[in-house]
Amino acid sequence: MDLPKTEIAVKICGITRAEDAHAAIEAGADLLGFNTWTGTKRHIDLEKNAEWLAALPALKIALLVNATPNELRKVAQFPWIDALQLHGDEDAAYCRAAAALGKPIIKALRASSSLSLRAADQFSTNHLLLDASVAGEYGGTGTRVNMELVRQFPEMHPHLTLWLAGGLRPENVTAAIREGRPRVVDVSSGVEGKDGRKDAAMMRDFVAAVKAR
């Protein structure tokens, strides 16, 4: 997957409305994430929203959680989806099948222990996203990822590309970058207002903090 040439790319995930997507792009986001999992309040139907999604001038990533093979193939067939983010309990065999569909994949791992990271190079992708480990949840919780495990990751897997999520906000992303040295930072709840919608000012502050660190 060809990431933007910026030193650290910003992905804003969980976008459900065209106005939020455009606000994220205007704020300077490099990648946008769209959650296809029906178990989240951030779910979006890609097919019903295809017209405005396809027109967005940004890299677009579809997030899936334990999708069936048919669901996975359907999402992969959208020509305007640039990559697939597997954010559930997908194993190595599942990821091999996903990679064979022709779209780059990002595998998310819930960082619970050093043991949970050891097999990170077995998922048919160089792009690994570390998120907080919260029982029964698949991201978007606002819980901080275990930064000690994040610091260990480049030493364990120096050839993998680290994407960092888990409780990132405008006020803490600079420190997280300094500690974890990710290639991509991924934010969802950390740029949402009290109404649960993406907040344009918070997105601007987040991107500005990343670029000015």
Catalytic entry in 13, 30, 186, 199: 13
121/142 Cα distance (integer angstroms) = 26
Cα–Cα nearest to 152, from 111, 121, 189, 192:
111
Q: What is the DSSP letter of 136?
A: T
Strands (DSSP E) along 51-126, which ranges? 59-64, 83-86, 105-111
Task: Tell me if residue 13 is catalytic.
Answer: yes
Catalytic entry in 20, 30, 131, 186: 131
Task: Tell me if residue 131 is catalytic.
Answer: yes
Q: From residue 76, how far is each of 1, 30, 54, 107, 126 by CA, in Å?
A: 15, 20, 14, 15, 18
- Mind telling me the catalytic residues? 13, 131
